[in-house]
Amino acid sequence: MRSPFKLRSRFNINNYSNLGQRVITALIGATVIVFGSVYSEWSYFLIFGTILAFSQMEFYKLSGLDGMLPLKSFGTLLGVIIFCLSFLIEMQHLQDKYYFLIFPLSSLVFFIKLYRKSDKKPFTGVAFTFLGIFYVAVPFALLNLAAFSVDGTFHYEVIVGALFILWASDTGAYFAGTKFGKTKLFERVSPKKSWEGFLGGAILAYTVAYVLSKYFTALPEWQWFCITTIVIIAGTYGDLIESLFKRSIEIKDSGRILPGHGGFMDRFDGLLLSAPFIAAFLKIF
């Protein structure tokens, strides 16, 4: 009889190629996120709150590699609080006046830094603490506004649909760029990205959006196509911006927690820049 430890070792994800790891991680992650979003608003809240916390901690860790000293724990806590407030207010469990709690809580960053004697450049740490909140936490909080934007109730279709479109754009760009990529998109920041990859991602994203519009009727077809345009453009820029950030501190991946993908910021960089535009679009239109 084979040892269960030997069987388990045969299925070690690290035994697969980078593409294999990428596919397995993506399938597992997508299943958890989609099922959690569909199951209930509270499971969505738990999953995305967890992703937010890991992403923000990752950002602060990378900032520390470049000599910055942000408030990692308090900054992440504040980001999670902002996410919780936006969710509970959109759920109508809290009145929107509680948004004003964000300002006094944020000001505590200055008080904490004031008593940190070891910081040679305290305001640099303050700046990067707030940057982590604005860059990571606020987009996740705005996802809550997007999810409740249709009629004031939670619509998982908005979240799942936007993610499917984003993943389609990433997947199409990866395979089209690998197969046909010749014309550099933004060589100074990301030498592997190409216009051919961008076009392949756009074609697959619009195809997925068309299919989604037939089943996810919370939004009309034209809004799905508008969201797709936002995701293609803002998602690509989000990827480039994170590449610029990593290049500035001379690292390849933001982390190693997601085999084949790197860290949470590597996986959700497109969402960080897309979410504010999607929320604004749905609230205005």
- Taking only the tens of pLDDT, the chain with its 285 residues reads 444 444 344 545 555 566 677 778 778 889 999 999 999 999 999 999 999 999 999 999 988 877 788 999 999 999 999 999 999 999 999 999 999 999 999 999 999 999 887 777 889 999 999 999 999 999 999 999 999 998 899 999 999 999 999 999 999 999 999 999 889 998 888 888 999 999 999 999 999 999 999 999 999 999 999 999 999 999 999 999 988 888 887 776 666 666 655 678 888 889 999 999 999 999 998
Q: Which amino acid is at 253?
A: D
Tokens describing residue 221: 């077809």
State whether residue 184 is helix, strand or coil.
strand
Please give the pLDDT value at position 260.
Answer: 53
Q: Which amino acid is at 235?
A: G
DSSP assigned state of 110: H
Say how far apart CA 31 and CA 29 lie, in whole Å: 5
Contact of 75 with 61, CB cutoff 8 Å: no
CB count, 10 Å around CB of 180?
14
List phi, psi (to 5°) of 194. -135, 160
- 241 sits in the region (left: phi over 0; alpha: psi -120 to 50; else beta) called alpha
Which letter, b or e, does each residue of 210-242 get, where b requires 16 or more Cβ atoms within 10 Å of its Cβ? eebbeebebbeeebbbbbbbbbbbbbbebbbbb
DSSP assigned state of 13: G
DSSP H or E run through 253: none
State whether residue 285 is helix, strand or coil.
coil
Say how far apart CA 87 and CA 96 lie, in whole Å: 11
Tokens describing residue 95: 């009145």
Q: How far apart are the first and last CA of the chain?
A: 63
Please give the pLDDT value at position 270.
Answer: 92
